[in-house]
């Protein structure tokens, strides 16, 4: 009788364990880190909340296991026991995401391998980085022109900055429209171009299939459009 009870308990415990299994695993390495705490976080109701944390002492590797209701952006935050913190943003989905980076350039050196959403987000970010680097070049040219009292050059560089910003926004708009079947589309709309003309945001939202429009970021895009519609009508 005791053996039967033990067998039943074993089956029940195994079943519970399977039901509680995490559907997202985040692993990685932070080269050069000797001591610190790594946090896995997310935005929930506009507040950054901690899902899990791990203390690093000697071996700079981390592993997190959690559950996702749907694909969404999470954050890997490093506390190095000083005033300096670093944050890595990544689009998580069920399965395994691997993040390898360095202590020196925690966010910039991040190499992320994981979801299809992350691959799309990285593709977008790589292009935006080129836009941002170009912007820095133009700002330097503008500074030099002002220093040399070259008003013609200064005006020219101001126009270049305006043109570059429009081009950057149009790139993100087109990227979202071209990838409307991914949650990345509404996410980019609410984070990268939230102040774009309302008609562009509305066009992106109306292009989304129901499965994306009713997702977390689809709903947030809808709310953004509704709030801006009210404020712009007043």
CATH number at residue 35: 2.60.40.1120
β-sheet with 61-66: strand ranges across: 61-66, 24-31, 95-102, 111-113
Which of residues 95, 114, 133 is at a domain's end? 114
The tens digit of pLDDT for each residue in 107-127 reads 999 999 999 999 999 999 999
Q: What is the C-alpha separation between 42 and 116, in angstroms, rounded?
A: 19
> Which residue range forms the structural domain that includes residue 156?
119-233
Residue 126 sits in the same domain as residue 101: no
Residue 124 sits in the same domain as residue 228: yes
Which of residues 87, 114, 141 is at a domain's end? 114
Three-state DSSP class for 65? strand
CA nearest 68: which of 44, 101, 39? 44
Q: Which residues of the chain have pLDDT under 70?
A: 1-20, 81-85, 234
Which of residues 114, 145, 175 is at a domain's end? 114
Residue 78 sits in the same domain as residue 105: yes
The tens digit of pLDDT for each residue in 123-165 reads 999 999 999 999 999 999 999 999 999 999 999 999 999 999 9
Output the CA torsion 130→136→137→139 (10° steps): 140
Residue 105 sits in the same domain as residue 154: no
């Amino acid at each position: 009788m005791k053996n039967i009870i033990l067998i039943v308990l074993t089956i029940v415990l195994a079943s519970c364990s399977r039901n509680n299994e995490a559907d997202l695993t985040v692993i990685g390495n932070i080269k050069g880190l000797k001591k610190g705490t790594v946090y896995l976080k997310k935005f929930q109701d506009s507040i950054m909340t901690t899902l899990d944390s791990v203390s690093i002492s000697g071996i700079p590797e981390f592993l997190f296991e959690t559950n996702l209701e749907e694909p969404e952006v999470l954050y890997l935050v490093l506390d190095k026991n000083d005033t300096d913190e670093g944050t890595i943003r990544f689009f998580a989905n069920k399965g395994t995401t691997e993040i390898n980076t360095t202590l020196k350039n925690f966010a910039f050196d991040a190499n992320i391998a994981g979801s299809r959403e992350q691959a799309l987000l990285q593709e977008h970010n790589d292009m935006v980085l080129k836009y941002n680097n170009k912007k820095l070049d133009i700002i330097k040219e503008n500074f030099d022109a002002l220093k040399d009292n070259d008003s013609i050059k200064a005006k020219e560089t101001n126009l270049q900055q305006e043109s570059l910003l429009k081009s950057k926004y149009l790139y993100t708009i087109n990227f979202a429209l071209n990838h409307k079947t991914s949650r990345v589309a509404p996410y980019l709309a609410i984070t990268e171009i939230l102040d774009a003309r309302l008609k562009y945001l509305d066009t992106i939202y109306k292009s989304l299939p129901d499965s994306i429009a009713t997702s977390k970021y689809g709903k947030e895009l809808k709310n953004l459009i509704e709030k801006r519609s009210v404020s712009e009508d007043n």
